[in-house]
Amino acid sequence: MKEINGFCASPGLALGRIVTVERHYSASGRTVSAPGREAALFEAAALLAQDEIASLAHRAASEEGDIFIFQREILNDHGLLSTILRYIDAGEGAAAAVEQAANLYAEKLRAVPDDYISHRAGDVLDACHRVVSILDGRPRERVHLKEPSILVSDELMPSDLVSLDKSLILGIAISAGSAQSHCSIIARTYGIPALVLCGEELLSLPAGMLCALDAGEGVLVAEPDEATIARFSHRISISHRVSMEAEKLRRTPCISKDGIQINLLGNCGGPQDIAAAIAAGAEGVGLLRSEFLFLGDRLPDEEEQFRFYRDCLLAAGGRPVTIRTLDIGADKSVAGVSESREENPALGLRGMRLSLAKPHLLHTQLAALLRAAIYGDLHIMFPMVTTAQDLDEAFAVLDQVREALTARGADFRAELPVGCMIETPAAALMAEELAPKVDFFSIGTNDLTQYTLAADRLNPAVARYFDPHAPALQKLIKMTLAAAEDAGIPVSVCGEAAAAPETALLYAMLGVRKLSMAAVSISDVKLRLNDALIRSV
């Protein structure tokens, strides 16, 4: 026997023979024509790739189909397209130009200090790899399964999985990869055991070898002996019974032992995350980040934003979706927005402050949101609010947008819920003044904790001070809840702390009735709250 260690992307057990999925290929034999012809070849290949991606989305289950909305939009991205055409003008062939531009774009995304955005690099590469395969005349499907198997590869993409019968995928082991990639999300959605970062040794295993996979423990056993086979078979049988109980839990509401119902929502970044959250049991989206749209080579126009928000609402299938307006500052570079780095960006021009300082950004975003709102239950949320004046100015822009849309005869929803985030001590202390102006509050515990306790959540030197259970933080949450109750508006918590079962229970005991978190945390939180006695204190 040989053990290969990796990191868990989706827990579970598997016992079966491996099928190797090859990604590397030779680029030899390419010829390069004049730039005009290469540009035409690229444009034709990109159109065909978009058609194929649309077909994949149509064939896919709802939980994964929306992943391809993003990939299709990537192939319309102005920054990526202009980079590809520049390479072609410089003498590169179309296929090589796409490869170079895709790698450049992916590296830019990987450098962004935000897990959701950085892990979207794989989707860029997946979409562009399809274009390259078309240009090179290669088939786009890399694997065909004839029997239940464990997939082994250097890297898997959503397009590698979507055409496969999920019942034939016993498990996944990847030499590189990421636990936050879309393939990992698909694996978690379907309960497929998956390991990532297994190293190059994994790729030396021959196809057809019998392997035992324990993704939860981070190990793949090659050529297991009879005792190991028997042990895994027994554990898999028990796991199947547990999975049936988990599916039952997913389909039931979150209600404590003393009858208090808590709404569990998803923190998402796009249509694909929304699909995964709903598959995990989310009742809607408590926080949808809009930042990704603004990290390209140019600012997204109203039409681009409209399409993205519309796709998010459609992915939610009528469930509520709370979209946070641009929450970005001097800590991230944004084309056409960032001017200079600030000494202390956490206390600088970020969130609502940035939007009010550059009202054309807010105007364009609100116009796109109001237009998209006719496709679903959209709620708008303003971040980094510290004063009542912030809200007054934001609502003034919203009124201007309504007038502008009416004047041009656009279809839009004029009235919809609008709320703000409580993520600074100032906002919590002024909650009584803020509450009558909005339709809901959402407490962002990440920032509220670091601002209250003066502890940077990303600085390990002060990690012991960053405590989401701190008495000072609880007092501010209680003040916020009291002000919301007096105004008759709901309150949710959308910070990362809501994903920890014990912290979620604390917030529920304080009186919070809506919690928003990553999809992977929903079942654990629901299990803890269903088994608890909750009382407001």
**How many angstroms separate the CA atoms of 107 and 530, rounded?**
43
Q: Coil, helix or strand for 239? A: helix
Q: Which two tokens stand for residue 136?
A: 């090179």
489 C-beta neighbours (distance < 10 Å), count: 18
Active-site residue (options: 128, 183, 254, 494):
494
CB distance 149 to 18 below 8 Å = yes
182 in catalytic set: yes
Q: Which two tokens stand for residue 69?
A: 């909305």
CB distance 14 to 237 below 8 Å = no
**How many angstroms separate the CA atoms of 472 and 2, rounded?**
52
Concatenating the DSSP letter of every residue in 419-485 gives EEEE-SHHHHHTHHHHGGG-S-EEE-HHHHHHHHHT--TT-GGGGGG--TT-HHHHHHHHHHHHHHH
Q: In sequence order, which ranges of 203-317 are alpha helices (DSSP H)?
A: 226-250, 271-279, 302-316
Q: Which of 283, 8, 260, 17 is nearest to 149 (CA)?
A: 17
What is the DSSP pairing of strand 7-10 with strand 13-21? unpaired
**How many angstroms separate the CA atoms of 281 and 133, rounded?**
37
**How many angstroms separate the CA atoms of 219 and 8, rounded?**
9
Active-site residue (options: 119, 129, 182, 379):
182
494 in catalytic set: yes
**How many angstroms separate the CA atoms of 420 and 326, rounded?**
12
C-alpha dihedral, 85 to 87 to 88 to 92, nearest 10°: -160
**How many angstroms separate the CA atoms of 418 and 404, rounded?**
19
Return the active site residues: 182, 494
